[in-house]
Amino acid sequence: MPLQNVSVPFANLLGLTLGGMIYGAYLILFLSSIYLFVNGYTEYGPRASLSRRFAKALRSPIVIASIALFLTSTITWVMTVYRNFRGWIFFEGGAAPNVFFNTNADISETVQDVFLALSLTIGDSMIIYRLWVVWRNPYIIALPVLCVLGLFISLIITIVETTRLSLIALDTWITPTTVFILVTNVYCTACIGYKIFAVAVATTGHVGNRKLTHFLAIFVESAAGYTSWALLYTILHQLDRNLQFAIQNTLPAMLGAANALINARVALGRAIELRDGAYTTSGAGSASAKGGIPLSIRFGRQVQVSDPAGTAGTRNMTVKTHTVVGEGTVREDDGSVSKPEAF
């Protein structure tokens, strides 16, 4: 079946299939990130009650936004399942799925659009917050903030229009929506990726032979996966291909998965940093920890510098090493360690 001739019912069924896989991955990532936020070490100590730790986690705006995004994305996914069952089975006995999926007469279309709009707005705002954390520059985030405002307005107009139009294809406000989504995410991905790469280079001097690790870090923390998915959706929409509806139904879950992956990485980094007090440093540049977990995630490996003459044994050196901690900041630590070996 040529891509340009894919029917709208087929696109919705494909969206249900892809959405199931993406939402499953999102669910695992979301639960993992919340677990790491709740069970990370806090000032209350590791033995604090679950309710106290959860209350502490809820003080973070990013946790509240993550829960809100999960709820809106879940409702969007539930409506996708409902609409497919209704279109393929219940609507006129399943005899006219093409009529059901091509019209806006059913209230389920409006409900799905509302929660889709909320998901995109919340998710893009979280990515902008990530950009702010990395750069701390109001001028850097000005463009994506304006784009999110434009996205929110265009989504409201789109929802209103879908209740008035007889055919989905007649809704022209989807085009500015796709533009705002694309500009926001491409811009944020590029800026965050550049910042992370610049920090890596400044820390190690060069990327060296572990460039794959840096690439994966940039890919995850800049939400490049979701940006690629949004780019595909925009291209399909501009080409007027019905496959856009398959991608559209999966956007909230893909956006949620990207943010959950970032949150899990940040929460894990914070948990490791906050556990520094539980570690004891022994020997020259070595650290022992309960459970064998390393002190921190660093851009360099620690090696010992020995006396070239071989008369003084192993010689300790006090140097500065750079540690990349949660949310894109760099910390310099003075310790009895050897010079870091670059990647």
Same-domain check for residues 56 and 182: yes
Most confident of 203-207, 312-316, 323-327: 203-207
Domain boundary (256, 275, 294) is at 275
Same-domain check for residues 221 and 334: no
Same-domain check for residues 297 and 208: no
Same-domain check for residues 176 and 294: no
Q: Phi/psi of residue 136, each to 5°?
A: 55, 45
Same-domain check for residues 221 and 332: no
Kindly state the average pLDDT of the residues 275-282: 48
Exposure string over 96-132, b if 16+ CB within 10 A, otherwise e: ebeebbbebebeebebbbbbbbbbbbbbbbbbbbbbb
Task: Render pLDDT for 52-105 as a digit per residue (tens, 0 to 9).
Answer: 888 888 888 889 999 999 999 999 999 999 999 999 998 888 888 888 888 766
3-state SS assignment for residue 301: strand
Q: What is the CATH number of the domain that holds 217?
A: 1.20.1070
Same-domain check for residues 337 and 215: no
Q: At CA 37, angle to CA 34 and CA 39, rounded to 5?
A: 100
Give the predicted TM-score (pTM) of the model. Answer: 0.75
Same-domain check for residues 258 and 300: no
111 Cα distance to chain centroid: 25
Q: What is the dihedral of CA 36, 38, 40, 43, to 10 degrees?
A: 160
Task: Render pLDDT for 101-117 as a digit per residue (tens, 0 to 9).
Answer: 887 667 888 899 899 99
Domain boundary (221, 249, 275) is at 275
CA-wise closest residue to 66 among 11, 25, 26, 114: 26
Same-domain check for residues 77 and 125: yes
- Taking CA atoms, 59 is separated from 105, 123, 142, 260, in Å, by 42, 19, 26, 17
Alpha helices in the chain (DSSP H): 8-39, 50-57, 61-85, 97-102, 107-135, 138-162, 174-204, 211-221, 224-238, 244-248, 251-274
Same-domain check for residues 9 and 101: yes
pLDDT at residue 41 in the model: 53
Confidence of residue 299 (pLDDT cuts 50, 70, 90): very low
Mean pLDDT value across the chain: 76
pLDDT at residue 103 in the model: 75
Same-domain check for residues 81 and 56: yes
Domain boundary (275, 299, 326) is at 275
Same-domain check for residues 297 and 223: no
Same-domain check for residues 30 and 71: yes
pLDDT at residue 5 in the model: 62
Task: Render pLDDT for 2-30 as a digit per residue (tens, 0 to 9).
Answer: 555 688 899 999 999 999 999 999 999 99
Rounded Cα distance between 192 and 130, Å, is 8
Residue 243 corresponds to which tokens in the numbers above?
């496959």
pLDDT at residue 333 in the model: 44
Query: What residue numbers bound the domain in which 84 lies?
Result: 3-275
Residue 61 corresponds to which tokens in the numbers above?
């705006």
Please give the tally of structural domains in the chain. Answer: 2
